[in-house]
Structure 1
Amino acid sequence: MDEGSRAVEAHDLGPFMRSAVTMSGAKRGFLIVGHGSELSVAAMADSASVSFLTESPRTYGINEATVRDVISTGRGGSTQTTICLPVALPNSGDGVIYLEMSSDVAPRPIEDIEWLATAFSAAAVANNYHGRAEPRSTAAGATEDPRLGWDMIPALAWIGAPDGGFEDGNKQWFEYTGLTREAALGFGFVSAFHPDDLDKVIKVWTDLCTSGKPGGVDARMLRHDGEARWFVLRAVPLLDDDGNVIRWYGVNTDIDELKRIEFELAQSQLVMAVAQRIIETGTWSWDMTTDVFTCSPECAGIVGLDANEITFETLSSRVHPDDRQIVAEAHQRALQGEELNVEHRFLLPDGTVKFIHARGRLILDEVQSPRAYIGTIVDVTETRLAEDRIRSSLADAQRAQASLAEAQKLSHVGSFRIKPLKGEVVWSEETYNIYGFGPSIPLTSKAIRERVHPSDREMVAAVFDKGLRDRQPWEIEHRLLMPDGAIRYVHCVTRVETNTEGELEVFGAIIDITERVKSEEALQKAQADIVRMNRLTAMGAVSVSIAHEMNQPLMAIVTNAATCLSWLDRDVPDVAEAKMAAERLVEEGKRAGDVLLNVRSMARNSRPTMEIVDIAEVVSHVLTMLRSEFRIRQIDVFVSVSPNIPAIRGDKVQLQQVLLNLLLNAAEAIDANDGTRRIDLFAADNGSRSVVVRVEDTGEGIDPIASERIFEAFFSTKQQGTGMGLAISRSIISAHSGTLSARPREGGGAVFEFSIPFAGESR
């Protein structure tokens, strides 16, 4: 046996060879050592014994070309009958482990054998190092470090005892973890793992040590600076003749980047799945070598089948009978190299017919043989049905061209094309009608510009110029001033393109929206009328209260007038007393006037006036109108208005309407309750630069079923209610940049509250 063979024999070669043969299920294995261009068999082993030799590989029929390729590239490989992997040997040339497989045994994964070879190579160098007292000098005088190969392994390599304890590691292991050998010995190495992964690592390592089988796990290891990175931890046992573990070889490979890529891939797959759902496109693939058909969930959803039931044959069988011939021909052409592009009908399990657009192509392997067939399907049923409807409409239009022309006029949509540099303008007939030009009149930019309303010309010109400069599409609404003084409203949609001559062209559509604008104005007026009617309804509800409120100052006026006259009718008129009576007469007249002024402002149909408003005045005026109403209903009202509340900006009349609605609703709710009859009204600064007004009542409370709908228009819990009061109140408060809310009151009843920003905070 040569020196290289003796060296490797001293480093557990026998157990290594037997372990390799056992793991792979090989008939026998060879250790082949390369010295320059010469190859020699250093050892031969089966599962029970090892022989150390010095023979030529030809003696055993070994494929030397395969061995030399593995030695030169450093990469192993396998065939149906052989596995050949590189092995690093100290004090020897390059080596390989060559395993002969039985032809009647199914090929096994070579991953464990690769790990065993890598770990053995590392450990052989390490054992050689530990077995020497000092580095030896080479003939050239330089010191040869026997641990150098062990430390050159580009991974964290380590050796473990039979019980799983740590014995040694290479330089990379200690540098990465920051641990000393003394600290890692035994089971001190566990401190190198991330706390969240420690239980998993201990469990897997315990299972491996108990079973004596190779294995591994993915886990995070802590670097010396505290950073955690992902590693794949792999351990293989070295066994003695009785199958007992002599030691463990391990290599931890950094896969942090791979983990990140896997995460990004998973995210990409998720995005792809979502995209398929959004665009309603499914994907499918047929592996022709394994005859396995797979499809995406969206594909299964389109064809109405379970993904596990779908095969190429099931899909083909559900093609509409009238379309099977064209589909079969399209697939045949695709299998010959053309791209699949066919649209056909598809029968769902429930008999429904769908229109499907299928695209696909053939994937070839290295020798240009068919390997896979992949593609997409899109549900185009709605498109086809829409196309059928369009074709039907076109057919009807062709049979009645006059009706089509009239329909174009009724749609009020025209089209145009403009070449700005040449000043050319091409309009459709309806565009002429919209602008009020006769088709015989030549169009010019000046004529078009003059037809635009004078107040809109500058805006239209600016948008047009910007669109041409940026070459971006634009939309604009503006007015046209017609020759008879009428105003039309139009909506213009355009896009800018460059023609084959490099000139800019503007394509667009013009839509007459005059009727829509008028309808919107009428709707706004109707909404304003509804608001006013709601206000008048509320005023009607307090009419009796207003009569009582007016009765008091009127009676006082009559009494004071009579008193004044009696003082003046005396033989000696008492002017002083008469004057006092007259002054009281004036005060009561002002009081009556204030009541009438509040009622008139609430009832008139005036536009909102945004001004500085004192919320205390709003509260005072509303309470003045409702004073007799509460007295008649026998309701106690407790009012708390904080002093020096900052002013808000709003419409006083609208805010009075909101508060009036809330107080009347509270009074009506109390009438339905036999208990305490009380309303609490609060107005204060809530500390968030807003004024808060809160109305609390002891009424029947808020129905939980109706609580989510009480602010909807036309929804009312009252038999005679219109359902508009709270809806209008919320819209008024929203217009004041505020909020209106409702909630149950503790102890029974309801709380309605609105808040409005201070004058400086309102939008």
Structure 2
Amino acid sequence: MNAPLETAIEEAARLRGCLNDLVVVMAIPELWMGSEPPQIISTSLHVLVGMLHLDFAYVRMIDRDGRSPREFVQVPGQPELTSQASEITEALNRSQGDDYLKWPPNARLTLGGAEFSTAQIRLGLLGEIGVVVVGSQRFDFPSRSERLVLDVAANQVAIGLQQAYLLHEQKRIAGELDKRVAQRTSELASANEELAREVVERRWAEDALRESERASRLIVNTIPGLVAILSPAGEVEVVNPQIVEYCGRSLEELKQWGTSDTVHREDLPRAMLALMQSMASGEPYEFEVRLRRFDGVYRWFQVRGRPLRDTDGRILHWYALHTDIDDLKRAEEQLGLNEAFLAEGQRLSHTGSFSWFVDTNDVSFSEELYRIFEFERDLPVSLGLIATRIHPDDLPLLAEKIERAKVAGGELQYEIRLRMADGSVKYVHTLGRDANHPDGRREYLGAIQDITARRLSDEALTKAGSELAQMAKVMSLGVLTASIAHEVNQPLSGIITNASTCLRMLGAEPPNLDGARETARRTIRDGNRASDMISRLRALFSKKGVVAELLDLNEATREVLALSSSQLQRNRVMLRLELANDLPPITGDRIQLQQVVLNLVCNASDAMADVEDRQRLLIVRTERDERDHVRLTVLDVGIGLQPHVAEKLFQAFFTTKSTGMGIGLSLSRSIIESHHGRLWAGSNDGPGATFAFSIPRDQEHAADTTSIEGDS
């Protein structure tokens, strides 16, 4: 939750508490009916001490009969202590003077060796009744809301004391009246006149009481909230204008709230149950409901009810305060939703967030980060605790990053290893950035992602790719072994035969020199043929970088087919060449392009291995293609291609062969694309399939051979 929202929530809570305190304070006069001034003061001090958590409350009341002022003291958890009253009086007179009318509203007071913040409130309009002094050891006492509660409480106490004086005076006058009636029967006329005067005074007292009630009602009506007064049975008796204005309904309509739509129908059963339980137990109630506004819109309200009791403990009224919390409710719901989204997103992405205060090293982890580090959820996090999870070899890196952040600030980004309690290793990526916290401290906010799976998969993929490339080369070499042996064996056999013939011709009488020379030339030709063949094979299977050259695709194709002839013969494949005579030269890597042709020819031969009902025909064709390209096509009459297979043929590791590895066509496509060409496949109209590639013929679109490697 961000700071503005927290402040708003605290302010709302403080305002609700203040309003509740005001309601309680305004309800206190009902407890004073018929009470004497000491009891009024004692009750008021007890309520203020408990409500505002005071350390003491003191009253100096001026006696109307001219006697010495009376003093009262109340401290938490103890009855009235008259012994402390004199100590407070002496402390006040010593620090602020004897005239309480000149005391400041707020002051610091030393009492018993302790320092207190005090607030002084006069009783009566001009302080003619006395003064109230309350104290707390909190330095910021009193707050504005506490001052408001104290002012209202002092006003209520003054009204209560005035009422008590009036009642006392009424009792005194009534007693004197009875005495005069008994003693001065003969003076009936004057007694009647005196009685009339007493009646007027009594009416004046009643008017004063009614004025007090009116003042209390005025306070309720001016409270910035929706207030209702209920009977002991829970029936609505009075509502302030704010409720009428909000609901747009009269008092009589609001009395029927239990059967109307004033309360949302989904919230009504819960509200009724809470109210009935409170009426039965006499305990305060509190619940949240949606109330219908005058325009039909429902808003959330917090409803809090408190009973007003008489001196005998009987409930006279219930005061209910309705506080609009709709904005707060929606903010809390949105905050909860955002937090849930964030937690789920962190869980799915294996990313946790952290906060680190640089000056104090205070660290906080999100829930996902606790899971990544495998810490107990309630365990306080510190840099020392984090270090216990860092791989020993990476501790210097962590120390370097922390020191750099403290000195230079800026962005943090690095990868580090964690060693868990079971000895396993995790890889994490950390990203953080410093910022100024609202309180002025330097704070790093960041995220840590568990990248163990990605690192392990990258390593495994790299290793597998290397192994597969080598295996593919070895497999290709194994397939060609027989052909190589056959092709190399032919020139070697010719060399031996020619050498033997040459010896016989030279040993004849006379020696046949012309024949020997011709035989020697044939021997040299066969030796060069074998040497060229071995050189091409060595380049094909070596890791040496390649060099682009201008080449004849027909010639390169014939060389590949010469190497493959033995395999084709063993598989009983009939080869038909349809090489274009006017084929233009191309620029490319001879060995790589020959590897693609070899792969297509071998695949076509394997596709016809199980064909028995027709001749195993393999057609290799070259021709001009559109856009100044040259095309090579390999057609077979094998098993053909299924539609769903054709889409996956060029994917790495996909194969239809039981012994295949699925990388030949993928590598072939990479080679052709590096030559700015394309490789594709399709089914024939009859049996079999067709594979073809097309590459540009001119030098301008030649392959970028600097990026081509020979170990495909």
**TM-score band, normalised by the shorter chain?**
0.3 to 0.5
TM-score (norm. length: structure 1): 0.40
Report the structure, 1 or 2, having the larger strand content: 1
Report the structure, 1 or 2, having the larger helix content: 2
